[in-house]
Chain A
Amino acid sequence: MTADAGQDRRSVASYGEVLDVVDVGRVRLTRRYGCIRRDQFEIVTKEPFPSAFRDWIASRGELRERPTFYVIEAPGAFQLTVAPRAGRAILMPRLATDLTWQAQTAREIAEVLDGMLNHGSCLANTRQAG
């Protein structure tokens, strides 16, 4: 997913419209139009998210955990809401970030998750997202 993918579509897109869908290994990443400055990203896997993913993403912000889902709040960056057993998460970037950063961050999170699903570890050679 590149920053300008779906650029033509976004000029006429309305809220919630799918701009593009890419598979990052075993992770499906769907980008939807939020507003002129913000996209939203859905991260879906066929299997549950590993707990190592929660530990990794929790280092990026404040973790709020409920029995069946959790939310990572990274002020100035994003909010990630994760239903680990359902294998689904939503990334809502903050307006302080730009579209390029948003797309890169979503991609990097998907890559880390895919690495964990493949190797059962968070130590796959992933770049730090943002």
Chain B
Amino acid sequence: MAIDERVIVETVTGMGLAGNEEGLIPAFGLYLTNHYADFYNRISFGVLGALVRENPELTEDAVALLTEAAHVCAFHTFGGIMSSVEWDALVQPMIESREDWVRGMMAVVNAFGWGRFRVAELLPDERLVVELRDSYESSGYLESYPRTDGPRCFLANGGMAGLMNLVYQGDITRRPALTEELYREVFSDPRSFRSRERLCAAKGDSHCEFVVERMQG
């Protein structure tokens, strides 16, 4: 059985994910949050703007910080999901290859409503190209700021690198403990994956597109 995105989306959206009396949403081995994308965007782009206003030379550092935050987020969020009971029950039985871990995760991401992600190309252990439509980062950016000359989907971009690192560098299929040590080991490896947002709706492209490759081939 190959990854059936429709089944995954229908199952996840039918789970009735909502806060319990503690105000938490424990699901997929995580505490999920349900909050306004605009709120996240305000903080993310606010950090970028504040650093750039301080000194335009800090632009690269600001992007590096936001990307690092995305790497940490992907490591724990995607890693947690791929180690969860829900994954075992719903996605694992559909998995036939290591690449299906990437496709399965993409289906779960779509079910959560983080945008419409589509794997355009996946070369095992080498390269991932993902198209993203309705990215809340780019649409949120354009609501508040003029069109830019650079990409703005920092969380999605770092997330895609994180996914490839989990599958091909950290071997999430063996269910390692998602410790800080493992994070450092995986992401500081000179052969680990990094993502580049080649197209972004915030700079006028029709959609966003991420190309994920190893830093050193």
Give chain A's interface residues, CB within 8 Å of chain B.
Answer: 14, 16-18, 64, 66-69, 71, 73, 75-76, 79, 81-86, 88-90, 92, 94-95
Contacts and interface: CB of A to CB of B under 8 A. Distances in A.
B20 A86 contact: no
Contacts of A18: 177
Contacts of A66: 11, 14-15, 89-90
B16 A83 contact: no
A27 B89 CA distance: 18
B85 A69 contact: yes
Interface residues of B, number: 22
Given A69-B90, A79-B20, 4 more contacts: A64-B16, A66-B89, A84-B89, A90-B84
Nearest to A69: B89
Contact of B85 (A64, A67, A88): A88
Contacts of A17: 177, 179
A16 B85 contact: no
Interface of B: 11, 14-16, 20-22, 26-27, 29, 84-86, 88-90, 92-93, 177-180
User: Interface centre among B20, B26, B92, B179, by most A CB within 10 Å?
Assistant: B26
Given A68-B11, A86-B92, A81 B179 contact: no
B86 A69 contact: yes
A86 B85 contact: yes
Contact of A85 (B21, B86, B89, B178): B89
Contact of B88 (A67, A73, A88): A88
Contacts of A95: 22
A94 B92 CA distance: 28
Contacts of A82: 85
B19 to A, nearest CB: 12
A85 B27 CA distance: 18
Contact of B179 (A16, A75, A83): A16
A73 B21 CA distance: 11
A95 B21 CA distance: 10
Given A16-B177, A89-B85, A92-B26, A75 B92 contact: no
Contacts of B15: 64, 66, 71
Nearest to B83: A16
User: Interface centre among B27, B86, B92, B93, by most A CB within 10 Å?
Assistant: B86
